């Protein structure tokens, strides 16, 4: 296989991947479509640039060299924009500068001062800048996303970055002449370049699609475990976490308690101010409860105006004190809607794990009974289950 054939084969693979991504674009969530659109554009631009290298002997050198390198640089810039969109980051200033300078440099050293080595140095520097910026975004994405697909794509960018560096060193140390062509078989690197460079548009596109799939999966998992209104864990998450913590506390003979928190006269808030204000009240109470938690505790919204707090390592004294902090955190901070200030209080029922509790649900029932006692005693107070 000669280098022209390699460029054609690489271009066809890239075009196929770009086309597949185009078909899948409409099935992606709206939030991921800008990233996918940029990635597809990058793949198609790189494919067109590689195809021009394949026909370089048939067209004027200045035209093919300048246009093909410009397309590849624009493609790498589109990859960078895709990753910025994926991680919801604004692209850095002078986004197009590497592509512009690289294209101008290639044009100068092909039209006015023909020199292949200078063109290789300029274009390699531009490639390295763009791939380095993309790799940096993926590296920084580890805090939000530790998916294998992200690490795969990072590895591809780093691999192509290292290959580009090796390619640059190879051609410089080879001391090539001004009329040296990278589209013939004069060097093994001419054949290796299109095959290894294709890993980013071909394998990289697969890794990018896997990143999108991982993001969608995590969003569904989060939606399944999170209350849509407050952002707190929902009843399903509470049941799983509560059962596990109950089991662990029993096995280790540690103390464990739960607090059931209910907003007082919440129906009156809805009736007087409307359901929209009621939703704001729920979010406000959720934030206040979360802010008042001890380390290791968990608060969930189980439905309506009810919340449940898991209190690890809490006996009767610690649990009652923690519940009082929760109650006070809500009472001392009325929520405001414009000029309207609405005072809100909560009643809290607390139950500490006892030997007679068969499971987490039994403990929860005792906390519910304590909550009813707090409501019956006048609300805005804490009651400890017997």
Share of the chain above pLDDT 90, in %: 66
User: Does 129 have pLDDT greater than 90?
Assistant: yes
| Beta carbons of 288 and 329 less than 8 angstroms apart | yes
Stretch(es) of the chain classified as CATH 3.30.70.270: 235-384
User: Does 3 have pLDDT greater than 70?
Assistant: no
Stretch(es) of the chain classified as CATH 1.20.1070: 3-224
Question: Which of 55-59, 99-103, 260-264, 349-353 has the weakest average pLDDT?
Answer: 55-59
pLDDT of amino acid 354: 93
268-296 confidence digits (pLDDT tens): 998 888 889 999 999 999 999 999 999 99
Q: Averaged over 125-140, what is the pLDDT?
A: 96
Does the global pTM surpass 0.85? no
Q: Higher-confidence residue: 18 or 207?
A: 207
Coil, strand or helix at 264:
coil
pLDDT of amino acid 184: 67
pLDDT of amino acid 174: 85
| Beta carbons of 211 and 147 less than 8 angstroms apart | yes
pLDDT of amino acid 164: 94
Q: What is the band of 1 on the pLDDT scale with cuts at 50, 70, 90?
A: low
Q: Of 45, 25, 46, 27, which Cα lies nearest the Cα of 36?
A: 25
237-273 confidence digits (pLDDT tens): 999 999 999 999 999 999 999 999 999 999 999 888 8
User: Does 25 have pLDDT greater than 90?
Assistant: no
Q: Averaged over 126-146, what is the pLDDT?
A: 90
144-197 confidence digits (pLDDT tens): 777 899 999 999 999 999 999 999 998 889 888 777 777 666 677 877 777 777
- Does the 235-384 domain belong in CATH 3.40.50.720? no
96-115 confidence digits (pLDDT tens): 999 999 999 999 999 999 99
| Beta carbons of 333 and 291 less than 8 angstroms apart | no
Rounded to 10 degrees, the C-alpha dihedral 267/269/272/278 comes to -100
Q: Averaged over 224-238, what is the pLDDT?
A: 93
Count other C-beta atoms under 10 Å from residue 125's C-beta: 16
Task: Tell me the C-alpha to C-alpha distance, in Å, between residue 53 and each of 8, 107, 186, 191, 218.
Answer: 9, 15, 15, 12, 41
Q: What is the mean pLDDT of the chain?
A: 90
Q: What is the band of 231 on the pLDDT scale with cuts at 50, 70, 90?
A: very high
- Does the 3-224 domain belong in CATH 1.10.3470? no
The DSSP secondary-structure symbol of 294 reads P
Helix orientation angle between 203-225 and 33-54, rounded to the nearest 10 degrees = 170
* Residue 324 bears catalytic tag: no
pLDDT of amino acid 334: 87
Q: Which of 88, 254, 305, 318 is catalytic?
A: 305
Contacts of 278 (CB under 8 A, 6+ apart): 266, 269, 270
Q: What is the band of 306 on the pLDDT scale with cuts at 50, 70, 90?
A: very high
pLDDT of amino acid 13: 83
User: Does 199 have pLDDT greater than 70?
Assistant: yes
């Amino acid at each position: 296989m000669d280098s022209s054939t390699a460029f054609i084969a690489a271009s066809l693979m890239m075009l196929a991947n770009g086309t597949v991504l185009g078909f899948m674009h409409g099935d992606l969530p709206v939030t991921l479509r800008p990233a996918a659109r940029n990635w597809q554009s990058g793949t198609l631009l790189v494919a067109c640039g590689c195809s021009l290298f394949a026909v370089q002997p048939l067209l004027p050198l200045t035209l093919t060299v300048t246009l093909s390198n410009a397309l590849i640089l624009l493609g790498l810039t589109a990859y960078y924009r895709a990753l910025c969109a994926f991680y919801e980051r604004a692209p850095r200033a002078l986004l197009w500068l590497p592509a512009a300078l690289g294209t101008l440099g290639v044009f100068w050293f092909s039209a006015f001062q023909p020199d292949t080595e200078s063109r290789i140095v300029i274009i390699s520097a531009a490639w390295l800048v763009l791939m380095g910026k993309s790799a940096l975004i993926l590296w920084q994405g580890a805090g939000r996303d530790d998916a294998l697909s992200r690490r795969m794509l990072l590895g591809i960018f780093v691999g192509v970055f290292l290959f580009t560096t090796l390619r640059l060193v190879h051609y410089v140390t080879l001391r090539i002449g001004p009329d040296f062509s990278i589209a013939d078989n004069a060097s093994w690197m001419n054949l290796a370049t299109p095959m290894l460079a294709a890993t980013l548009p071909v394998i990289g596109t697969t890794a990018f699609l896997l990143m999108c799939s991982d993001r969608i999966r995590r969003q569904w998992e989060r939606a399944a475990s999170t209350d849509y209104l407050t952002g707190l864990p929902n009843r399903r998450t509470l049941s799983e976490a509560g059962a596990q913590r109950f089991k662990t506390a029993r096995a280790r003979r540690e103390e464990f308690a739960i607090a059931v928190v209910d907003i007082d006269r919440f129906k009156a808030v809805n009736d007087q101010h409307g359901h929209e204000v009621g939703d704001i009240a729920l979010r406000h109470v959720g934030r206040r409860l979360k802010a008042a938690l001890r380390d290791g505790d968990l608060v969930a919204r189980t439905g309506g105006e009810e919340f449940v707090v898991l209190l690890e390592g809490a006996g009767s004294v610690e649990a009652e004190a923690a519940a009082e902090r929760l109650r006070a955190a809500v009472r001392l901070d009325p929520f405001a809607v414009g000029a309207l200030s609405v005072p809100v209080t909560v009643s809290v029922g607390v139950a500490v794990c006892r030997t007679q509790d068969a499971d987490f649900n039994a403990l929860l029932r005792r906390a519910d009974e304590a909550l009813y006692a707090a409501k019956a005693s006048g609300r805005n107070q804490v009651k400890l289950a017997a």
